[in-house]
A and B are shown apart, each in its own frame.
Chain A
Amino acid sequence: MRDLSIVLWKEVKEMLRDKKTLLMVILTPIVTLPFMGVVLVYLPAVQEVVIAVIDEDLSEASIGNFSVSSQSIALFLRDYLTHFGFLTTSEETEVAQVILKIPVGFVANLTSYEHQASVILVKRLGSPRVDQAVTYVELLLNHISRAVSEAKIYNLGRLANLVVKTEAVLNPIALRTVVLTPAGRPAEAGEELRLYLSRMLAVSLAFVTTPAASYIADSLVGEKERKTLEKLLSTPISRRSFILGKSLAASLVGLVGGVSSVVGAVLLYLAPTVVYSTNVAKYISPEVLVVLFCSSYTSILVSLSISLPIVLRSPSIRAASISSASVIGIASVTYLASLFVNLDEFRVPMSILLAIPYASLASAVIRTSLGELLRAVAYLTYSLAFSIVLILLSTKLLDPEKMVISRT
């Protein structure tokens, strides 16, 4: 215990004086999280896409009392697309990434009962925003199609002297979707957005883990590089205290990283609130912040526990550094995967993924957001136990000979 406090005293002194690294641990989540919010939510919305809506038909016709003109359709499309943030033009231009042509004969076919009208949509491959533009064009065309169908059904009913309900003809099967949370209660409005944001928080664990994992690797490898290790290992300090002292110091980095990630998370929710003037901040909950803090802290402990045996048994400092970089890589990929899938919902053998503590930690954040706090606590406990066991095992692995003779 006395030895442990000596190593801890040294590590904390060194840590507090390494202001640049400490600043990186603090600032990385605080800067990266709101930046991620802006990049993922705001930037796609402001990227310029030019849509050309070209009316080559220039004609009009009617269905009963319902009159249709190609000019009014083109105008409707351009107005709404402008409203959704796209640039529109009525002429074919090289800068247009999406071109919608209303060909000659379009209105005649649209109002006929025998032919189908067609339009030509051209898109240039380039950005996800172009795909978004195409989706909006398709939605608006569906809207027009529906309006024309309603007019036709109404007119046919009138000619046949029948009482016709347009919905009964257009959608004989009505689909009502009820959204439930995993706990079985009806999902509130905005629940999906809440889940999306919590996925971002799970990804954000990578930003806490990266600088902290580098700190941990440096704490061990750096002793060798700075030529301080050999003297310390020759003192009466026990191997166990050497490893545990460094681990405890790293866990202090974890505490700092955890607090920063909570501040970053609040900023992540505030960024779209400010940018869009919509209250996204209401989706943040104390439980999510607490679990995020615990997950950040544990994530750093997990990185430490995985790095320790690798660093301690590496034949050279370079090998140790590469190994710790690989740990960071695995952590980042796992956290990124949680943006797209629920890592805790696979069947055997893929369910083994959850054994990766990073997957458990990402799932803990997402499950908390879904109201499954107990499951989140179970995942956190597993990851914490994983790291403690591995750290204790590492104390047995320290071989001063290997550390002293490892190549720089």
Chain B
Amino acid sequence: MVVRVLNLRKSFGKREVLRGINLEVTEGEVFGIVGPNGAGKTTLLRIVAGLLKPSAGEVEVFGFRVPKDVDKIRRFVSYLPEEANLYGRLTGSENMKLFAMTYFGSKNIDEIVRLGVSIAGISEQDLKRKAETYSKGMSRRVAVASTLMVKPRLAILDEPTVGLDVVSARYVREIIKQFAKEFGTTIIFSSHNMFEVSKLCDRVALIHSGRIVAVGSIEQILADAGAGDLEEAFVKLAGGENA
């Protein structure tokens, strides 16, 4: 088991964001967390990545407990936050080198960065430019590549395509799909784009107002909800058009 979440609750002051989440993610799968803005997707991923502490419940990653074993968990997990930017004064290549070094020190850095470059699919010339000169699409490609190139046992990608144009979003989806297939990495992927999730994920959890309303393969969720697509299933399961 890669991730096991049991009755997880998280509050910020009096505001309860997660209200008893239960889910399991198995080795090698691409697991999607789908829900509208404010549903609690980012909070859930931040807890799994060891950045936030649970208010109640249990979270285990590769058998290690959050937050107790967070230093061990970070060695196996690579996380891409929703609004992650590159270091603007560093070049694309230096940004990759930095994240490679955080996992491997100076060992095999060139090889890891080469993998990053091939994932990002940007030219040598662009890699030598400062990241502050990149377009949003190019920045995101480098950020996704930096997250995956270290070949983590678990990659957590929070809305990796949000705000990107159609072409860039498609490219990022292709990167993730190809990487998961090639290296067998477990990927947890969040999105509010149902189409995207149905294209990428082996299994999906639908999250609404801090609760998981359905979890399983897309076919299974559609069958259980009696819906034609994931969007319809979500509306039905979350309790109406206002969900």
Contact = CB atoms under 8 A, between A and B. Distances in A.
7 contacts: A10-B98, A228-B85, A231-B81, A234-B81, A235-B102, A235-B103, A238-B71
A228 B50 contact: no
A14 B130 CA distance: 11
Given A235-B102, A404-B46, A405-B52, 16 more contacts: A6-B101, A6-B105, A13-B90, A14-B89, A226-B88, A228-B86, A228-B87, A230-B51, A230-B81, A230-B84, A231-B143, A236-B74, A236-B75, A236-B102, A238-B71, A400-B50
Contacts of A233: 51
A165 interface: no
Interface of A: 2-3, 6, 9-10, 13-14, 17-18, 226-228, 230-238, 400-401, 404-405
Given A227-B84, A236-B74, A236-B75, A6 B52 contact: no
A401 B52 contact: yes
B102 A6 contact: yes
Nearest to B83: A227
B90 A231 contact: no
A14 to B, nearest CB: 5
Given A17-B130, A231-B80, A405 B12 contact: yes
B85 A226 contact: yes
B164 to A, nearest CB: 15
Contact of A234 (B12, B74, B85, B101): B74
B77 interface: yes
Contact of B79 (A14, A17, A234, A237): A234
Interface in B64-106: 71, 74-75, 77-81, 83-90, 94, 98-99, 101-103, 105
Nearest to A234: B79
Residue of B85, B88, B105, B143 ringed by the most chain A CB atoms within 10 A = B85
Nearest to A15: B89
A224 to B, nearest CB: 11
B173 interface: no
B90 to A, nearest CB: 6
Contacts of B175: none
A232 B99 CA distance: 8
Contacts of B145: none
Contact of A401 (B51, B74, B77, B89): B51
B84 A10 contact: no
Contacts of B74: 234-236
B237 to A, nearest CB: 29
B153 interface: no
B53 interface: yes
Nearest to A225: B85
B79 to A, nearest CB: 4
Contacts of B101: 6, 9
Contacts of A14: 87, 89-90
B49 interface: yes
A400 B84 contact: no
Given A234-B81, A400-B51, A2 B89 contact: no
